[in-house]
Amino acid sequence: MIGETALILAVLALVLAMAAMGIAWMMWRRSQRKLEAMSTLMRELARSRDSYRKQLEELQAANIGLGKKLTELGRQQVSLREQQQELALKDPQSKLYSRAARMVQLGADIEEIMAECEMPRAEAELLLSLHRQR
């Protein structure tokens, strides 16, 4: 009887050991699948990171180009403003037009503009319509 009990216990221990090995193998297999999925995800994330890095570099290059363009446009604007001021000082007619424009802004009527600036009616009307639209 003791021999039989020992044999039953040995078989039971063997079955439990095999069940434990089966469970361990299934868990190992599941962890391998998770590891493969994580590896795939890491590769995809690395590709995305590289793509975003490339886009960022392109945006930085574009920003540098825009900065240079803005600087050049600023220089041109200063140059044009200086030229405009020089022309305004050279042309006596422009002083009359500037004065007439100021008069329009202050609310002068067409007769006042014609009298003060010695301007024909057509020019005064044109000036009045242009400056009142602003």
Residue of higher predicted confidence among 73 and 134: 73
Nearest to 107, CA basis, from 130, 122, 128, 134 = 128
- The tens digit of pLDDT for each residue in 33-83 reads 999 999 999 999 999 999 999 999 999 999 999 999 999 999 999 999 988
φ, ψ for residue 120 (rounded to 5)? Answer: -65, 155
pLDDT confidence of 118, banded at 50, 70, 90? confident
Q: Give the model's pLDDT for residue 12.
A: 95
Question: Looking at residues 105-129, what average pLDDT do you find?
Answer: 86
Q: Answer yes or no: are the C-beta atoms of 70 and 83 closer than 8 Å.
A: no
Nearest to 99, CA basis, from 121, 120, 124 = 124
Residue 96, pLDDT > 90, answer no
CA angle 89, 94, 99 (to 5 degrees): 105
